[in-house]
Amino acid sequence: MQTNRRKFIRNSMLGIGAVTIVPSHVVFGKPGRVMPNDKVNLAFCGIGNRGGQILRSFMNTGMVNNVAMCDTDMGAKHTLASIEANPKATQFQDFRVMFDKAAKSFDAVVVGTPDFSHFPITILAMSMGKGVYTEKPLTRTFQESELLMKAAKKYGVVTQMGNQGHSEGNYFQFKTWVEAGIIKDVTKVVAHMNSARRWHGWDTGMTSFPKAEPIPETLDWDTWLGTAQHHDYNKDFINGQWRCWYDFGMGALGDWGAHIIDTVHEFLDLGLPYEVDPVKIEGHNPLFYPQSTTLDFKFPKRKGMPALTISWYDGVNNQPELPENYGKSELAEGIPAASTGQIETRKLNPGKIIYSKDLVFKGGSHGSTLSILPSKKAEKVMQNLPEVPKSPSSHFENFVLACKGEEKTRSPFEVSGPLSQVFVLGTLAQRLNTTLKFDRESKQITNSSLANDLLQGPPPRKGWEEFYRL
């Protein structure tokens, strides 16, 4: 079977698979797109916890068919609800087998798996002409995002990263206010996520990974590990806990950054920073993310806009100083529940503060809109605010409609790839607890050879190398 899979991947690299498995209703010349009147046939990779929420959101559009589902633990409690609700979908435990045996049946793929496993599924789908919706953050390494952006151009398929607020009110308001000159001359952005949601309480003096435990009978642990180097199974590696480990996840920054600074990054044309400074690292450990972090991301002058610094705060007690007249901190609506429970309402909920020359803006996370903090200049601006268009589609509908050729995705990899690379640079600064100087042109870290090597990440586990050649 392993030999057959390798042949299958090699065939895909040569373009054989992309020719022989295209469904009959695909419009040739437009990979990953279907006829407007047809429902889009989807395959779902990762169907429990957040993956299950994404699956339900797509099914609720009424515009898709669930034809295939894949999860490395198809017998777990968190996957059973998806299985029971979609009895007609063909089930798989290994995405490579799903592509090998069922690729003719689906037009696009939805990836709702742990961060480190996004890349191989996504790149394989793209190489076979499938549209792909990949949950945020796009990848765990800088180079993986680079490869996916290049693949998007090469294969021309529909792509979307799953930061759903990019199709809600904040996206359209921010875009409109930038175009109208209301948001301008921004020099500082404070982004904060101070909830304990999805976070560990482990001993920060830990020097080795958790001890091996018996692998659940229903779990394919080897496939779960994917491209990652070998680890013995432990319950603290799965079901959301993977976010805490450098080897598997992207910490609080990767989890929440795409919901808080996405519009700042896109509409202020930030690109990549020239420096990342770990202002505060509390509970540093070489294996897992700190208990609290303050990072300064420094961006240069751009297209007539001044230099800008994003200050990122995470950790329950690591809260930024608030401006005068800040008011109450509202919790954004529609935040999905975590596998370990819903986010709690705190004194300071996840969000951002944007400082421009004349105005200060307060915002939340996801799709929540901005408000302008009171001032004399704000009063004048508030009297003549432009009309903000309403979103024509949710993030899930947007992807489906793009597959049908009716819309363009709002968070394609050309937009979400550089944003995810910003997070990678931040996590490297956390991991090494050192300032990183970055050359935006060569895309290299210039003051640390170790950090620069980590842009690429460790070599893939034996048998998984082919995915980096697609």
Handedness of CA 159, 296, 292, 345 (dihedral sign): negative
What confidence score (pLDDT) does residue 24 get? Answer: 34
What confidence score (pLDDT) does residue 336 get? Answer: 67
What does the pLDDT look like over 31-67, one tens digit per residue? Answer: 556 776 789 999 999 999 999 999 999 999 999 999 9
Tokens of 228: 């990652």
Tokens of 84: 């029971």
What does the pLDDT look like over 370-381, one tens digit per residue? Answer: 999 999 999 999
Nearest to 470 by CA among 41, 101, 62, 144: 144
The two beta strands, 360-363 and 371-372, are: antiparallel
Domains of the chain: 2-166 (3.40.50.720), 169-202+233-385+421-454 (3.30.360)
What confidence score (pLDDT) does residue 96 get? Answer: 98
What confidence score (pLDDT) does residue 1 get? Answer: 44
Which stretches of the chain drop beneath a pLDDT of 70?
A: 1-33, 36, 197-199, 332-346
What confidence score (pLDDT) does residue 14 get? Answer: 41
Helix, strand, or coil (residue 94)? coil
Q: How many CA atoms lie within 13 A of 113 on its CB side?
A: 29
What confidence score (pLDDT) does residue 328 get? Answer: 84
Nearest to 249 by CA among 413, 139, 123: 139
What confidence score (pLDDT) does residue 202 get? Answer: 85
What confidence score (pLDDT) does residue 31 get? Answer: 55
Q: How far apart are CA 318 and CA 326, in angstroms?
A: 18
What confidence score (pLDDT) does residue 22 get? Answer: 33
Tokens of 198: 């999805």
Q: How far apart are CA 43 and CA 32, in angstroms?
A: 13
What confidence score (pLDDT) does residue 10 get? Answer: 46
What confidence score (pLDDT) does residue 259 get? Answer: 97
Phi, psi (degrees; rounded to nearest 5) at 194? -115, 25
pTM comes to 0.92
* Cβ atoms of 391 and 172 closer than 8 Å: yes
